[in-house]
Amino acid sequence: MFRTLIRPLQSARIIQIPIRTTVVVERVHPLTKLRPGENIYDYSKYKYTDFQYRIIRDTDTEKWGNIDVILTEYVEGVGYKGEIVNIPREMAYRELLPAQLALYPTPENIALFEEERKLLVDRPQISPFVMKCRDYLKSIVLQIPINLKSKEWSLTKDNIRIALRRINVMCDEDAIILEDGSINQDTYKLGEEFNVILKINPLVEVSIKCVIVPVDKAKLWDEYQLSKRRPKT
C-alpha cells in the first residue's frame, strides 16, 4: 500500500516558470557614516537599522496590463495563427509564451508568419466574447417554464427566448432553430432533456441542453399581486 502511494509522487514533474519582477525600496534610516579608510563591506560596523527598508514599488502586485504577441497556432477565444493580438500580460507569460503558442512580435517573428498573415485578410474574425458565450451556453441546462396544466401545449421559440432572457441572454426568435410543435404534451416526458440550436452569429452556433419546468400561472399571478402590496423598504 505504501509503494502504490509513492510511485505517483516519483513520476510527478514540477514546472517552474520564471517571472521577471522589480521591487523598489528606500532606507528607513540614514546609513551609518564610516570613517575614512574603513571597509564598507565590513557589515559588523553597521547597525541593524541600516538594513531596514520601506517598499516603494512592487511590480509583482501591480496590474500587468496588456502586451502584443503573435500567435504561432490557433488559440480558441484568442486568435488565429500569425495574428498579432493584444492580451493580458499574465495570460501571455503564464500560458501562451511558455507553451510556445505565441512569440514577441519582432520583425523576424512577423516575417516567419507572413503567409499566414496574408490569409487573415479573407478569414472571418470571431470575437473572443462569442466563444465565451458559446462555452457558457454549452455548460448549462436551460430551464423552460411551461404551464403543463393546459390540456394542449407545445414548445415555441418564444418560450425559449423568454427562458434565455431569464439568464440574461438576449436573442431574437430567428436565431433559435426549433421545429414548431415537435415538443408537446404527447411527445415530451417530464424531466427529459432535449437540445435546441441557437445561432450566436452567422458563423457560430451552439447546442443548448434544455428541460421543461412545470409552472402554475395562477400561482405566479398571486405572488405578483402580493409583491405589489408589500411596502417598499
141-184 confidence digits (pLDDT tens): 998 888 877 778 888 899 999 999 988 899 888 899 887 668 88
How many CB atoms neighbour CB 213 within 10 A? 14
Highest mean pLDDT among 39-43, 118-122, 228-232: 39-43
Q: Locate the domains of the chain by residue range.
A: 66-119, 129-218
Whether 85 and 71 have beta carbons less than 8 Å apart is answered as yes
Taking a C-beta distance cutoff of 8 angstroms, is the pair 62, 78 a contact?
A: no
Residue written as grid cell 427562458: 163
Task: Report the DSSP beta bridge partners of residue 134.
Answer: none
Q: Is pTM beyond 0.75 here? A: no
Q: Are strands 53-58 and 205-214 parallel, antiparallel or unpaired?
A: unpaired
pLDDT in tens, 15-56: 565 667 788 999 898 888 888 888 888 888 888 888 899 988
Pick the CATH number of 66-119 from 3.40.5.10, 3.40.50.1220, 3.40.800.10, 3.40.190.290: 3.40.5.10
| 104 pLDDT tier (thresholds 50, 70, 90) | very high
The H or E element containing residue 145 is strand 141-146
C-alpha Rg value of the chain to the nearest Å: 31
Q: Which residue has the higher pLDDT, 222 or 138?
A: 138
- pLDDT tens string 88-100: 888 898 899 999 9
C-alpha cell at 34: 564610516
CATH of 129-218, one of 3.40.50.720, 3.20.20.150, 2.60.40.10, 3.10.430.100: 3.10.430.100
Give the pairing type, strands 205-214 and 141-146: parallel
pLDDT in tens, 186-219: 888 888 899 999 998 887 889 999 998 888 765 6
DSSP 192: -
- Does the pLDDT value for residue 102 go beyond 90? yes
pLDDT of residue 44: 85
Strands 66-71 and 84-88: antiparallel
